[in-house]
A and B are shown apart, each in its own frame.
Chain A
Amino acid sequence: MVKAREVFSNQHLNTIEKGETMKKILTSMVLVLALAAGSTTVFAANLKWPYLIYPGQQGAMEVLWQDTTTETTNTLCWGTDTTYSTGCDTNDVEYSASTHQHMYTISGLQDNTTYYYQVKDATNGVYGSGSFITAPSANATSIRFLGIGDTRSYPYNLDGVMQAMRNFYTQPGNADYQRLVIHNGDWVSSDGESYWTSQWFDSTKTDIVNFTANSPINGCEGNHDTSGSYPNGTSQYFPKYFPFPYLHATHNGTATTFNPAVVQTWANLYWSFDYGPVHFTVVDNYSNVAAGSAQFNFVQADLAASTKPWNILIYHEPAWSAGSDGDNTAVRVFEQFLGPQATNPQNGHYFDLVYNGHSHNYARTGAYSLAGANGDTTIALNVPHFTTGGGGAPVYQPDFTNTGSYPHVITAWPADEFMAFDVEGKTLTINTYQVNGLASYASGSVQSGPLPVTTGISPIEQIVLNHFTNVSSQVTAQVGNIVYNRATRTYNGSVTITNNGPALTGNVDVVLDGMINIQGIGNADNEYSTATPKPTSKIAQNTNLVTNVTLANANGSNNGEPMIRATTTGLANGASVTVPLQFSNPTNAKFTFNPITYQE
């Protein structure tokens, strides 16, 4: 019997002997305390500790675990504190008797509530415990969750990333991020039992144990979780361990009711779920997505039927990335989904962002205009396409050039990283963080000895998306008075907004389209770069965007472009407002932008 807490204590004794700094010791102590607060305990009879998925049902949470032939009767109990007194299931809920695979969906839970649970066996004792936060009410307008991807191959790295993610949500004010994690695929390096056991369910990787016991992880399969190639890829063990509600699954080309207990070749593992104000549509990259296919029709209908204001498309292989794994042209078919019920008011698309992995780095690709896309009509404009592939797999160097196989790159960075999503009404804030302290693990060269002790996180970039109403068609905007101040070394100007249409009310904002100002950029840390010379900027080249000028008096942003509040009291018909602009332009470069006016 090995307790997670003991594993950590031993690691930190070793660390002390190696003469690490006092800062690391203190960090470790904090980690131990944090883990003690919500730890799970792993027993020898427990092959796979209790972990969570969100089954897409309001008031429900699914707990999964696997034990051995020494089991007798397993019991799952839960409650709003660690007395686990709200409910118990004592029916030994095995979904695969031959492998002692257990799954139980706790239902009837209160919305937006923290629950604690424990799994134990009559003979073997406690297998593990954890906690979770239930989904918010269906009409909630705010929600937070985390994102990760490409966790395969190097469990030391994954352990470090999950350690950092857990540290992140245990910070004051961040507790809400525990509630859900989205995963974009390549969970392990190969779709085989041994890979899942050694890379995802290794009980010595205590940060993985603790993280997965306390946060449900929902997502899609990746190419490494699949056998065969598009459009005939199939998966056996991914759906066994992550049995999401695959309502359209097929086996050998025939529609077959999904049964996770049957380990066989499953295809068409696409599905969707609502979570508060967000709808997630999860695509199976390796089954047919071509126009007219069952999956294509499902995705189109699913997005069109969404009643949620925010819609996220999840699949593994990006339509556009910063490399170095190739882009997937088949999934570009989804970019053309447009319609009158579109949720993205800026471009008429049904989805607000695309969440991918596959290339092991962070990248944001996209285009703001057809001209900015160099005439490429296949990309949905004003939709950020995120690659977050730094979940533990060996880090890849991104291609920043925009001149070769990877067009439409805006920002990119090679690092172990994760993402944090924060929906607040009409605004979605997305932060990407580099996990520091994993440099020697990032290439996979170090995969033994004590687990990594991460040294905090650094921001890669912050992107804010707003569902404000574009009212540019009814206003006239005129930029002018661009005067350089030699004392302050700033360029000062103004934009005058005149309302030619119906009265605008409340907050009216102006976005300087064509210019990107990214919060978090500029704190470059090259520790994972293998390129020579190492990149010094996270902003890609040849973006057709103004990247070297900052709107110094911006008070917001939209999709990376700076935004400034024009008025808080609306604008009557015929009225004008002049908004001062102050720019930092250290290279004194010529710059232009297109002011777009929004009413909040």
Chain B
Amino acid sequence: MKLQFFVIAFVLLIAGSAFASFSATYDVSVDTGSLGLSGTSGYLYLQYNPSTSIASTATVSNFVTDGTLGAQDTVHVVNGSAVSGTLPGAVTFNNTNGINDYNHAITFGSTLNFLLSLSSSSNPATTSGASTFSLGLFGDALGATPLVNVSNPNYAGTAIAINLNDNGTSSVTQYAPQASATPIPAAVYLFGSGLMGLVGIRRKMNK
């Protein structure tokens, strides 16, 4: 029976790979405790912006924090029309507009963590563009009070940026050393997803 599950998981892995022509998944963490933000009220500001004509999506999932999420702010975003979902649930960004942003109130704890999945249904191209997911930490809804990377005039408030490049690669730029993004190999991610799905099915069947 166990072998059967592994075969099914492998098939799901292959199938998943075929549907996404190029993709990347990251485990994103911010050590907000080291930043001295524990107990501080502020906002998580997420963006997914293209410098490419290749359509792609970014999905934030498995959001976990020991802080306290407040309400989503839909007022102080530039263009949220291509963004769906609400934290702590999954939030999906399409790179449809020049900017696709999401703002959410939070009382920071010592850490926050989520999975970021970047995916394009196109084939890798020879063009030089990318779509960039970024996480910003601000003290106010407007984005006037950056909490990290304060002295960088262009990227003030930005903790980390993750690019899905047109050529099928991805890259990370850390603007705050307390923020990290660890790539999860696609095989592991899909295999794990498949396994989790199968575990779920098995439990349902047992019941």
Chain A: residues with CB nearer than 8 A to chain B? 477-488, 490-493, 495, 580, 582, 585, 587-595
Contact = CB atoms under 8 A, between A and B. Distances in A.
A588 B129 contact: no
Given A485-B154, A486-B144, A580-B154, A591 B51 contact: yes
B79 interface: yes
B59 to A, nearest CB: 18
B52 A592 contact: yes
B154 A480 contact: no
B122 to A, nearest CB: 14
Interface of B: 45, 47, 49-53, 76, 78-79, 95-99, 101, 127-132, 134, 136, 142-144, 146, 153-158, 161, 163, 165, 167, 171, 173
Given A588-B78, A594-B127, A485 B156 contact: yes
Contacts of A480: 51, 130, 132, 161, 163, 165, 171, 173
Contacts of B154: 483, 485, 488, 490, 492, 580, 582
A591 B99 CA distance: 10
B143 A486 contact: yes
Most buried by A among B53, B79, B99, B136: B99
A582 B101 CA distance: 18
Given A479-B128, A592-B129, A484 B144 contact: no
A549 to B, nearest CB: 8
Given A481-B132, A482-B130, A593-B51, A487 B161 contact: no
A590 B132 CA distance: 13
A478 B125 CA distance: 12
B74 to A, nearest CB: 15
A480 B95 CA distance: 14
Contacts of B131: 482
A588 B51 contact: no
A484 B78 CA distance: 9
A514 to B, nearest CB: 10
B31 to A, nearest CB: 21
A590 B161 contact: no
Most buried by A among B47, B52, B98: B98
A482 B134 CA distance: 8
Nearest to B127: A594
A588 B79 contact: yes
Most buried by B among A487, A495, A585, A589: A487
A485 B130 CA distance: 18
Most buried by B among A492, A495, A594: A492
B130 A483 contact: no
Nearest 4 A/B pairs, CB to CB: A486-B143, A480-B163, A492-B154, A480-B130
Given A486-B143, A487-B156, A495 B99 contact: no
Given A478-B128, A479-B129, A590-B50, A485 B165 contact: no
A483 B134 contact: yes
Given A481-B161, A483-B158, A485-B155, 15 more contacts: A477-B128, A479-B51, A479-B128, A479-B129, A480-B130, A480-B171, A482-B50, A483-B132, A484-B47, A486-B143, A488-B154, A588-B79, A590-B96, A592-B129, A593-B51
Nearest to A493: B51
A477 B45 CA distance: 28
Given A482-B51, A484-B49, A484-B99, A493 B132 contact: yes
A483 B79 contact: no
Given A479-B130, A486-B142, A590 B163 contact: no
A481 B7 CA distance: 39
A487 B143 contact: yes
A589 B98 contact: yes
A409 B96 CA distance: 28
24 contacts: A477-B128, A480-B161, A482-B49, A483-B47, A483-B158, A484-B49, A484-B78, A484-B101, A486-B45, A486-B76, A486-B144, A487-B143, A487-B144, A487-B156, A492-B155, A493-B132, A580-B154, A587-B98, A588-B97, A590-B95, A591-B98, A592-B53, A593-B51, A594-B128
Given A484-B47, A590-B50, A585 B134 contact: no
Contacts of B146: 487
Nearest to B135: A483
Contacts of A582: 154
Contacts of B155: 481, 483, 485, 492
B45 to A, nearest CB: 8
A592 B51 CA distance: 5
A585 B99 CA distance: 10
Nearest to B136: A483
B163 A481 contact: yes
Contact of A488 (B96, B153, B171): B153
Most buried by B among A486, A488, A490: A486
A588 B99 contact: yes
A491 B98 contact: yes
A51 B129 CA distance: 56
Contacts of A485: 143, 154-157
A142 to B, nearest CB: 34
Contacts of A595: 128
A587 to B, nearest CB: 8
Nearest to B76: A486
